[in-house]
Structure formats: structure tokens, C-alpha cells
Amino acid sequence: MKNKKPNAELVWKQFEDLLAPQLRLSLIERTVYLHLLRHSRLEGKLRLRFSIPWLARNTRMCAGSARAGVRLLAAHGALRLIQRSKAGHVVEVRLPDEIPSVRLSRIESPPAAKEEAAGARAVVNLEEADFARNMALRKAIHARERGQCFYCLRQTPPAVQCLDHVVPQARSGPNSYRNLVSSCMECNSQKGEKLAEDFLRSLFRQRQHRGRPGGGRPGTRNHFSENRIHGS
């Protein structure tokens, strides 16, 4: 690996479109990876020395979640642990194209398989394709989330799966690969015209009401807060 600043736009696209869905990264793992990437490779540093308290404080999560995130990323091959001690960690943060388990391929349309046999390959442009109106592309969004609702993390059978806009259509949100997520009907209905980040924030607040009457049904909001977000 060369010690130089990578193309940040390309790295982000590879992370969002390939690395995160292929490795099935949780919200904690995504947050830890991007924060360490921001302070190392995107600043031209090959290695980064940091402490778990520093990471937890900057990402607004508890130390246990931050430590678990580092360990899981190392197991995925996204981080290479050079040194680990009570004084701190030294890691090499790998770019998406440096992680052996990540296949850097483009999403291809169904006719591509037939065209490839004839020497041609049809490739879907992630920036321009309408992923909501094409059934094959709709299925690609659900496959990316591995059959889970993006918001509550429950497995959703095809009968109750739907697509949800991160930025609502009412706010000019497009039907793009990055603006669509797989959702269960209940979360889709509860979210309404909210931005995804606002809806996720409201789910997180439910964590504070666990154990209280009406504090949220098991497996959705409480499940989300326990498994995807820790700390304030």
C-alpha cells in the first residue's frame, strides 16, 4: 500500500456500494471504519495510533461498542492490527480495494449474462438508473440488505418488503441506488416523509424508554438501538 491520499469520492462509492453490503457491516462497524479511515488514509497516513476512549468519544458510542467494532473490522480484514495494548492501538486501515474479501464489481443488469456470451456486457449506471421502477433492480436493493429491514434489522419476507427513500420523494429524493433501502412495511409507514437520519434518531430515542410501559415493541426499535447504536 502506498502512503498517499486516495480518491475520496471513489473510496466512498466503493464503501457504500460494495464493502458495506458485501461484509454486512453494522452501523457501529461502518462508523468505526469511516472514522479511522478519515484520520488515516484520507490524510495520507498509512498507520494510525489511537485509543479506544478517543474512538468512543469521537464517535459518540460506548467504549465496549468501539472496541467490538475494531475487532470485527480486523476479522473482516478491513483493519490490520499492528500493535494492541492498554496504551492504544496501531492499525493500518485498508481501502475497499485492498480488502481481499471484497469483490469490486459493478452491478449488472439481467440481460448482461446473455450479452456476455456474445462478447458484450450491459452495465447499470448506478448514478442514472431508476432502481424503483425496474423489478430486477428493486430486487438488487433487497439483496444488498440481505433480506433485512434497513431500519429495524428484522428479516422481512418478500410479501412485506418495500423500498424506502433515504431522502423522501417529497424532498426531491431520487430512485437511485444510494437513496433507496429495503424496508419492512411497518417501518416504511412510520417513517413517512421523514429523512432517514431523523427516523433513525427517533428509533434511537426509544432505547431510553426500555422497560417503561409503551416503550417500543421488542424486535424493532429496541432491537435496533441495542444492535446498531450504542451510547448517546
DSSP 18-39: IIHHHHT--HHHHHHHHHHHHT
Q: What is the pLDDT of residue 220?
A: 45
Concatenated DSSP letters of 198-229: HHHHHHHHGGGGTTSTTS--TTTHHHHHHHT-
Domains in the chain (CATH in brackets) are 8-98 (1.10.10.10), 125-227 (1.10.30.50)
Q: Which residues pair with 83 in a beta bridge?
A: 90
CA distances from residue 106 to 68, 112, 213 in whole angstroms, order as listed: 31, 11, 48
Q: What is the pLDDT of residue 35?
A: 93
Q: What is the pLDDT of residue 111?
A: 45
Q: What is the pLDDT of residue 27?
A: 86
Q: What is the pLDDT of residue 209?
A: 66
Q: What is the pLDDT of residue 106?
A: 46
Distance CA 149, CA 60 (A): 24
Q: What is the pLDDT of residue 127?
A: 66
C-alpha closest to that of 24 among 144, 176, 162, 183: 144
Q: What is the pLDDT of residue 36?
A: 95
Q: Which ranges of the chain have pLDDT less than 70?
A: 1-3, 103-127, 207-232
Q: What is the pLDDT of residue 55?
A: 93
Q: What is the pLDDT of residue 25?
A: 87
